[in-house]
Structure 1
Amino acid sequence: MSDGLVFYTNPQSRGRIARWMLEEIGADYRTEVIDYAERMKSAAYLAINPMGKVPAIVHQGKVVTEVAAICAYLADAFPEAGLAPRPEARADYYRWLFFAAGPLEQAVTNNYAKFDPSPEQSRMFGYGNYATAVDAIERAVSANPYIAGEQFTAADVYVGSAIGWGTMFGTLPKRDAFLAYFARLSGREAYVRASAKDDALIAESATA
């Protein structure tokens, strides 16, 4: 494995999204598992991500955190993988990648926390309200086979993970469009490979 690309993760975290993206690009990388009890808040890891969160990557000495940023960065850093549209065709790619990382994430987490903004408050929130955000992403995944059109991209790694997790854990409704979209993604070899690697790490920690 190359030390040129290091992946800091925990298999029971959003690191699974970044793992999927790493498997999609097909590059060598070294995995550093960061446990919640000690390493996550250690001085060594806080020097990489002061938030004390995973995932993070270090590529050629540069740190990237935030999963959407990791997906976009890797698509650009490894163009041979073909995971970003041509620059002139990136409108939907950027739009829905950052919609899922911003408004949708905020809507889902606030709804899970039982926070329902009043009409006055909703004007201050980028997502407006939960129903509006959910309906918007449903229309987006229904418009084309993939979130940015006919081609699978890094945006599908992020959006697909958000929808897969959301429908699995009940933070998003199990609408037909969501289930069909995630079914198209979850059969990808990179997704299956990434899931197997993270599930193996979980099994190792359970028997340690």
Structure 2
Amino acid sequence: MALTESPGCDLVFYTHPMSRGRIVRWMLEETGADYRQVLLGYDTSMKENDYLAINPMGKVPAITHKGHVVTECAAICAYLADVFPGTGLAPALNERAAYYRWLFFAAGPLEAAVVNQTLNVSISEEQQRMVGYGHYDLVVDTLATGLSGTPYIAGDSFTAADVYVGAHVMWGMQFGSLPKRPEFEAYAALLADRPALKAAQAIDDQLAQTEE
């Protein structure tokens, strides 16, 4: 386990076990890097000045690393892949087209479409030009197309994009915000065997029980 309680650790992870911080926990475990966690409460420490100085949004996750602050899950995944290049979690620079495409497709159109669908926000046909994702079914079909023909979202190798996209797919099917399409089920099954994911889930599941 990469988690450390050392106060001198230069990689600090701010999270809550029932949050999008689970995505970043998975990514941290994939890197194998030492990190220190800071657990925050939704209506308490997340809204206090000390944390608002790190993320004025008052939301988790966030990381600090050697004086730098990174928020937003997709950005954190990309950052960690870059600062720990030996992990191979980011493709070579000249091979990053699909990696960037799908990482930010999930951060933009996919998340927006799923959230609006879950909240029963109706987008009329006339409004689809104004909405970056067009409509929910289009997003789902596009993602399914991206997962057909290759085992991972950006090609034949696992990358940080799979952490972010994979979390969306697995959670979406679990909670019913994405359909259980064959492409999604095959992708989720492939990712479920990753030791880093299992380690991350074990940590957060235990912390979640403590929160209860």
Superposition TM-score, scaled by structure 2 size: 0.95
Q: 1:134 maps to what in 2?
A: 140
User: Which runs of structure 2 are paired with 1:146-157 in the superposition (5 Å)?
Assistant: 146-157=152-163
Question: Is 1:17 paired with 2:17?
Answer: no
User: Which runs of structure 2 are paired with 1:56-71 in the superposition (5 Å)?
Assistant: 56-71=62-77
For residues 106 and 146 of structure 2, the distance between their equivalents in structure 1, rounded to whole angstroms, comes to 11
Q: 2:187 maps to what in 1?
A: 181
Q: 1:105 maps to what in 2?
A: 111
For residues 28 and 207 of structure 2, the distance between their equivalents in structure 1, rounded to whole angstroms, comes to 16
Look up the equivalent residue of 1:25 and give its one-letter code.
Answer: T
For residues 99 and 152 of structure 2, the distance between their equivalents in structure 1, rounded to whole angstroms, comes to 10
Gap runs ≥5 in structure 1: none
Q: 1:200 maps to what in 2?
A: 206
Aligned-pair CA distance for 1:37: 2.7
Q: 2:121 maps to what in 1?
A: 115
Look up the equivalent residue of 1:56 and give its one-letter code.
Answer: A
For residues 143 and 127 of structure 1, the distance between their equivalents in structure 2, rounded to whole angstroms, comes to 23
For residues 87 and 49 of structure 2, the distance between their equivalents in structure 1, rounded to whole angstroms, comes to 35
> Which consecutive aligned stretches of 4+ in structure 1 deviate over 2 angstroms post-superposition?
none
Aligned-pair identity in percent equals: 60
RMSD of the alignment, in Å?
Answer: 0.8
Query: Would the aligned equivalents of 1:75 and 1:81 in 2 still touch at CA under 8 Å?
Result: yes
Aligned-pair CA distance for 1:61: 1.0
Superposition TM-score, scaled by structure 1 size: 0.97
Aligned-pair CA distance for 1:116: 2.2
For residues 112 and 175 of structure 1, the distance between their equivalents in structure 2, rounded to whole angstroms, comes to 18
Gap runs ≥5 in structure 2: none
SS in structure 1 opposite 2:28? helix
1:92-148 Cα offsets, whole Å, 9 max, x none, are 000000000000100001111111211110001110000000100011112300000
User: Which runs of structure 2 are paired with 1:52-91 in the superposition (5 Å)?
Assistant: 52-91=58-97
Look up the equivalent residue of 1:126 and give its one-letter code.
Answer: G
Name the count of aligned residue pairs: 206
For residues 177 and 34 of structure 2, the distance between their equivalents in structure 1, rounded to whole angstroms, comes to 34
Look up the equivalent residue of 2:202 and give its one-letter code.
Answer: A
